[in-house]
Amino acid sequence: MDLNTLWFLLIAVLYIGFFVLEGFDFGVGVLLPFLSRDKDPALVDRKRRLMINTFGPHWDGNEVWLITAGGATFAAFPQWYATMFSGFYLALFLLLFALILRGIAIEFRSKDANPRWRSLWDWSIFAGSALAPLLIGVAFANLVRGVPLDADMNYVGGFFNLLNPYALLAGITTLLLCAFYGAIFLSLKVSGEIEEKAHSTAWRLWLPVVLLLLALLASTYLATNIATKTGISPSIIAIMGIVAILLSGYFVRRRMNGWAFGMTMLTFATALLSMFLILYPLVMVSNPNPEFSLTIYNAASSPYTLKVMTIVALIFVPIVLLYQGWSYWIFRKRLTMESTLEY
């Protein structure tokens, strides 16, 4: 394995880590206005505070994975970064807006007890949490489906080229999978009424998620070159993801929420891994002119740069993993409504 392949795999791991860790955060944000319904406005506020507290200690650390993935792409494959970030500029600007809006809302909602103030920021959390996975799903789908590039590796399409049926299906599937993931996470992290609502929501979402994933897998066979891949077949990895999501429904039904959470995590991981296996050794597919595609070689930095980056990664990645593991261990206990009284 050369350094170009190694960094392609490391970037894949970073994106997988982001969705595995941040996916349920997005899901809880999407469910925030719905699972907190109550006739008493004071109870609505406390329920929403309880739900936010489940991911409050982790969300900013989880987003570091996305930032690092972008930084690694810039350093290891600058031409990929330049083409993707210029071509997908409006979509990525909307993604950045969604993430900033969500972060501000999480921090600002408790600055004032006025119900209108808190409602504004709660709906902002919902909007940011829904828009982010939708846009990321659309972006990843376009990477594997292909976008129009010219001989100078520049994107020559428009914003609406990205909103093709396959990409929109991927975006909606990602959003609904995050909601399902978030519902299972809530059933593990809280007790009482919210736990029951989260469990029933997870069960209701399971079948639509399965159907969307099956439709996405079938569409991927039509829209990409997945069927022609050899070696570690992305088809096998994708089918493993389907099996995992089927098992997650079984575990939700049996109230084995820890296993359901693990299977949903595996679904996210296999879906992202399949995408990167479809791409390899490309990093951006040119459609309809495959000869203009970006590869891990023509889009890469110099060998010396990749070598230095590898040394830095070997030093700092274990530190980040240890810190995040410690963070989740410290905040591992279930939360109750009583813990929200101080807010």
Q: What is the mean pLDDT of the chain?
A: 91
Position 129 confidence tier, pLDDT thresholds 50, 70, 90: very high
Average pLDDT estimate for 43-65: 89
The contacts of residue 26 (CB under 8 Å, 6+ apart) are: 129, 130, 132, 133, 175, 178, 182
Identify residue 21 by its one-letter amino acid code: L
Q: What backbone phi and psi angles, to 5 degrees, belong to 300?
A: -90, 160
Report pLDDT for 308: 93
Report pLDDT for 230: 62
Distance CA 200, CA 204 (A): 6
SS3 178: helix
The 10s digit of each residue's pLDDT in 313-325 is: 889 888 888 988 8
Report pLDDT for 262: 96
Position 307 confidence tier, pLDDT thresholds 50, 70, 90: very high
Distance CA 133, CA 98 (A): 10
Q: Which of 134, 26, 7, 152 is nearest to 87 (CA)?
A: 152
Report pLDDT for 131: 96
Q: How far is CA 63 from the centre of its chain?
A: 10
Least confident of 116-130, 178-192, 201-215, 285-299: 285-299
Identify residue 120 by its one-letter amino acid code: L
The contacts of residue 107 (CB under 8 Å, 6+ apart) are: none
Report pLDDT for 171: 96
Distance CA 195, CA 172 (A): 25
**For residue 89, is pLDDT > 80?**
yes
**For residue 261, is pLDDT > 70?**
yes
Report pLDDT for 342: 53
**For residue 213, is pLDDT > 80?**
yes
Report pLDDT for 341: 55
Q: Which of 122, 127, 129 is nearest to 108 (CA)?
A: 122
CB 28 within 8 A of CB 185: yes
Position 138 confidence tier, pLDDT thresholds 50, 70, 90: very high
Report pLDDT for 289: 85
Position 115 confidence tier, pLDDT thresholds 50, 70, 90: confident
Report pLDDT for 77: 95
Domain tally, the chain: 1
Distance CA 11, CA 114 (A): 43
For residue 46, give its domain range: 3-340
